[in-house]
Amino acid sequence: MYPAPFEYHRARSVDEAISLLSQYGSDAKLIAGGHSLLPMMKLRLATPAHLIDIRTIDGLQYIEDKGDYIAIGAGTSHAAIEKSDLLKQKMPLLPQAAAVIGDPQVRNMGTIGGSLAHADPAADYPAAVLAAGAQLVAVGEDGERVIPAEEFFVELFQTDLDEREILTEIRVPVISGNTRGAYLKFPHPASRFAIVGCAALVTLENNVCSDVRVAFTGVASTAFRDSGVEDALRGQPLNESTIQKAAEQAAESDELEIMEDNFASEDYRRHLAKVYAKRTLMQIASAF
């Protein structure tokens, strides 16, 4: 399978990439790791006339401690995030999600910016950045914009990014000493994408859950935070009985449209959401 013909541009800086995006408009696409875009081009689901390579930009690959948050360059590979000791210590959700993406080849080539911008409903990072309370930095002709993760994912394969903007940085708040997090997923046996993935962060104060953030991927057309589970656990002690009750609320919102396909029906996905909410929260409880 061959993609449609395209012209290849190698951007040397964010400014150059933005100017190329402005010049070619909707005929252009950025390419980072290529691990989502190239398969789509080969299937002719994407036929950009101009490909702007941003992997060649120096300074988009970093993981830096900024005090309150960790800054991750959008061009940072899944493998670098998986191996980062800084993230393991200060925001373990991201390395846990990165570690279960695809296979080593995908993790070496794919980038966090590419994954988030692609907004695949079964991708792993979206649940992790939602539970983490991340902020996403986009740069365009009009300058820089900081988008909370909760406003970033708009629809299936659709984000708040303008087609002339580049996602440059992901900012994840560092967790405090009394917070634990976990990401677990039920992977599709062939692709390893999430049929259901659950990311959660829980803060304990005086032995009760003072803050609870639970997000799912794979369940609906975009990743989402599940207030049903969060509300059921907030103010409660963290034990098997309270976790079971909270997990039963997973994917129960009337506003939620649960996906179904040949592999997983709506009922099965809802069931898996409850199972994975429980497993994720039990893993967190055992980490305190």
Ligand X SMILES: Cc1cc2nc3c(=O)[nH]c(=O)nc-3n(C[C@H](O)[C@H](O)[C@H](O)COP(=O)(O)OP(=O)(O)OC[C@H]3O[C@@H](n4cnc5c(N)ncnc54)[C@H](O)[C@@H]3O)c2cc1C
Using CB under 6 A, which residues numbered 181 to 220 contact ligand X? 191-193
Residue 117 interacts with ligand X (CB under 6 A)?
yes
Which tokens belong to 247?
Answer: 């997990």
Q: Does 242 bind ligand X (CB under 6 A)?
A: no
Q: State in angstroms the smallest separation of the CB of 236 from ligand X.
A: 31
**Which of 18, 32, 215, 282 is the binder for ligand X (CB under 6 A)?**
32
| Rounded Cα gap, residues 56 and 32, in angstroms | 9
Q: Is 118 in the site for ligand X (CB under 6 A)?
A: yes
Among 95, 114, 181, 228, binds ligand X (CB under 6 A): 114
Minimum CB separation from ligand X for residue 150, in Å? 18
- Nearest residue (CB) to ligand X, 183 versus 209: 183
Q: How far is the CB of 158 from ligand X (least distance, A)?
A: 11
Q: For ligand X, how many residues bind (rule: CB under 6 A)?
A: 31
Residues that bind ligand X (CB under 6 A): 29-37, 39, 54, 74, 101-102, 106, 110-111, 113-115, 117-118, 120, 123-124, 161, 166-167, 191-193
